[in-house]
């Protein structure tokens, strides 16, 4: 199955390759916490299954696999999924995620 032109352009724009995952996660909006599922992860961001219309650019924190919270920002929300960009540097994210972060692609 080949990528569409739009998907190919998105991959070119991405600085860090996404790793497909299926992990429980907890999204903290400041006022509420929501259980969700991570479907892909990089050192720069994460895609979550979350049936909640979050406003883009809102600040959140995400916790994956009992790791400390990672500060992030909502960059998109569509069809039951949200995309978050981590506010921490890729090195900090790798350190927070521990072994999981060490296994993620560095480019």
Q: In order of start, what are the domains of the chain with their CATH numbers?
A: 5-103 (2.40.10.220)
**pLDDT given at position 17:** 82
Beta carbons of 16 and 105 less than 8 angstroms apart: yes
Kindly state the tokens that stand for 28: 């903290």
56-67: pLDDT as tens digits? 999 999 999 889
Count of beta carbons in the 10 Å neighbourhood of residue 75: 12
Please list the ranges in the chain whose pLDDT falls under 70: 1-14, 107
Please tell me the pTM assigned to this model: 0.83
Q: 63 pairs with which residues across the strands?
A: 26
């Amino acid at each position: 199955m080949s990528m569409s032109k739009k998907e190919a352009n998105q991959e070119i724009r991405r600085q860090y390759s996404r790793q497909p995952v299926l992990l429980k996660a907890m999204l903290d909006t400041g006022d509420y916490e929501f259980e969700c599922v991570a479907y892909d992860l990089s050192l720069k961001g994460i895609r979550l299954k979350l049936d909640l219309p979050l406003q883009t650019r809102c600040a959140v924190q995400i916790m994956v696999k009992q790791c400390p919270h990672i500060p992030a920002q909502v960059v998109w929300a569509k069809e039951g999924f949200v995309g978050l960009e981590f506010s921490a540097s890729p090195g900090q994210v790798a350190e927070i995620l521990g072994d999981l972060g060490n296994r993620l692609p560095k480019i």
